Amino acid sequence: MSVAPATVTGPVGSQGARVQISQRPALALNGWLGVVVIAACAWAAIWPLRSHVGWEWLPSLVAVLVATGLVVVPPGRTSVVQFFGSYAGTVVRPGFWWVLPLTRRRTVSIRVRNFETNHLKVNDADGNPVEIAAIVVWQVADTAKSVYAVDNYEDFVSVQSESALRHVATTHPYDDAGDGESLRGSTDKVAGELAHEVSERVAIAGVEIAEVRISHLAYAQEIAQAMLRRQQANAVVAARARIVDGAVGMVEMALARLADHQVVELDEERKANMVSNLLVVLCGDQPPSPVVNAGSLY
């Protein structure tokens, strides 16, 4: 008897194809030091012109090289430095800096951002089509991964958020009459699961998820009316059950007080008639019409 091999869960494809890189600080000096060097080079370039030495091009070349390394980093943004195809580090601190010359810099925002997904039509755990949308609050945590690990980290976060939203919505029913978790009744738990799901999907892009909240939840238009009638029927049944419980308690209290105070002695037939009348009065939708009985019950 042959035994089937165990299924190994994990990403499909070669793990070696992923970009293994992490953020590290770049070598950066105060930018005003570079300005001083440029000024000195400008003075050094003017002096050979006066003396006709002939090497005035050298200070000019140094000044141009130094100028290519000056970078301004505003608050809430970083500058990813790339030197001839190699990752040289990230300038995180805001200010005026002087980095390696002849480098390519890319500005990456580390501010907290949010967006709302499209209104997606998915089937819940019971197979009912529902419309759902969520608001995702996110922030870039690793600038190197966001630039080099994925092609466009903003589109990556958007697509993966919608994918995670579809997956979580299919694992829960829209509404559950029991104590189980549902999309409408367990909003906080569903939001926590959704945030965890999105975080795992976008971790490769160096992105952290701060919060995910459902912003829109409704039945699809084709079944909205039918589900509304079902909800109304459930509400009516629950209300009727509560009314019956209260009516039975009031009847029991009435019979007990009549017996305790010995107001009247009722046989079984009269008790049944009184219970029937009280239940009709207490459980009826319309106000009762009083009927005066001037004779005997028999």
Query: Cα separation of 55 and 166, whole Å?
Result: 68
Nearest to 209 by CA among 194, 224, 223: 194
What's at 112, amino acid-wise? V
Q: What is the pLDDT of residue 126?
A: 82
CATH classification code of 113-219: 3.30.479.30
Mean pLDDT value across the chain = 81
Which own/partner pairs from 164-169 qualify as long-range (CB within 8 Å, at least 24 positions apart)? 164/194, 164/197, 164/198, 164/201, 165/117, 165/120, 165/122, 165/132, 165/133, 165/134, 165/194, 166/120, 166/122, 167/197, 168/193, 168/194, 168/197, 169/120, 169/122, 169/124, 169/130, 169/132
Q: What is the pLDDT of residue 6?
A: 44
Q: Which helix (H) or strand (E) holds 225?
A: helix 221-261
Q: What is the pLDDT of residue 89?
A: 93
Q: What is the pLDDT of residue 218?
A: 85
Contacts of residue 84, Cβ cutoff 8 Å, sequence gap at least 6: 102
Q: What is the pLDDT of residue 60?
A: 79
Nearest to 238 by CA among 230, 248, 250, 227: 230
107-138 pLDDT, tens per residue?
999 999 999 999 999 988 888 888 999 999 99
Q: What is the pLDDT of residue 297?
A: 52
Which residue ranges of the chain lie beneath pLDDT 50? 1-9
Q: What is the pLDDT of residue 3?
A: 42
Q: What is the pLDDT of residue 141?
A: 94
Q: What is the pLDDT of residue 230?
A: 65
Query: Cα separation of 209 and 134, whole Å?
Result: 13
